[in-house]
Amino acid sequence: MALEDNKAVDILALDVRNISTFADSIIIASANSNRHAKSISEKVVASVKASKESFLGVEGQSESGWILIDCGEVVINIMKNEIREFYDLEGLWGETTLTQTPD
């Protein structure tokens, strides 16, 4: 997975099929810095495009500490730790949506 290959940490997948109309899964991953988040997002986008998976766009700037990659059924959030803690997407979507990420 491009996230793990680029040293994203605390990768978490949420299954939101039953509570969301915009996506089936939300993936959240932490980056160590804005630069790291940008690098991860660029490589994830390249990987998605290379595999010919659905890709709708990227939102956010690396300076914000949060980059969102919209792949249609899957939305990937790459966040600096302090941004992730502040917005607490895991808490927002609830424990019942947590799924295991592949090793």
Block mean pLDDT (10 aa), the chain, length 103: 88 89 92 94 94 92 90 95 92 66 49
> Going by C-beta distance under 8 Å and a sequence separation of 6 or more, which residues neighbour residue 99?
13, 14, 15, 25
CB atoms within 10 A of CB 95: 8
CATH class name, domain 2-94:
alpha beta
pLDDT reported for residue 101? 52
DSSP label of 100? P
The pLDDT score that the predictor gives to residue 103 is: 47
CB-based contacts of 41: which residues, under 8 Å, 6+ apart? 58, 62, 67, 69, 78
pTM for this one? 0.85
